[in-house]
Amino acid sequence: MFDLRHFMFSVIFMFIMTCWYLVRGCSIPDILCFLLCVGIESGDVRSRTILGFICTLLNVYEFFFINVVMDRSWITTSRISDEYENSVEEFIQFAKRNGVRVNNKYYCPCVNCVNVIRQDIELIREHILCDGFLKSYTIWTWHGEVLE
């Protein structure tokens, strides 16, 4: 028997949790993983339908708001400029949204770590600001950028 209250609660809960994860800067794969766990645990067909709907909304969000190509000219500018600092922050946000996190660490694209060593996000910020960003790293595949 269809329970409208349960259905609406599920929709609202999943929507609120999705928004909360987006605001916290979680990556789309992390959010999809959470939603998948909720859908599987419930075992309910309606919950899986809601899950599909929210996943579709996330894909639309990702297409229009995340996959905007960021200007990469800052990589070669002076590290003491405001443009460089602001762009490093944009890169950090991009990496947090899209990159694959392992033990809360991402590959560090600084000139010393060269995307081989994983670091926490604060140390990555420090490395990029102090040591510089790897100039040849213009397509951020290690941080979630998808080649078209």
Shared-domain flag, residues 53 and 78: no
Rounded Cα–Cα distance for residues 103 and 110 (Å): 19
Q: How large is the average pLDDT for residues 130-139?
A: 94
Which range of 45-54, 67-76, 80-89 scores highest in mean pLDDT? It is: 80-89
pLDDT tens per residue, range 90-117: 999 999 988 888 999 999 999 999 999 9
> How many domains does the chain divide into?
2
pTM (global) more than 0.75: no
90 close to 70: Cβ distance less than 8 angstroms:
yes
Single-letter amino acid code for the residue at 26:
C
Shared-domain flag, residues 80 and 56: no
28 close to 97: Cβ distance less than 8 angstroms:
yes
pLDDT for 128 = 98
Q: Domain residues for 27?
A: 4-66
Rounded Cα–Cα distance for residues 124 and 120 (Å): 6
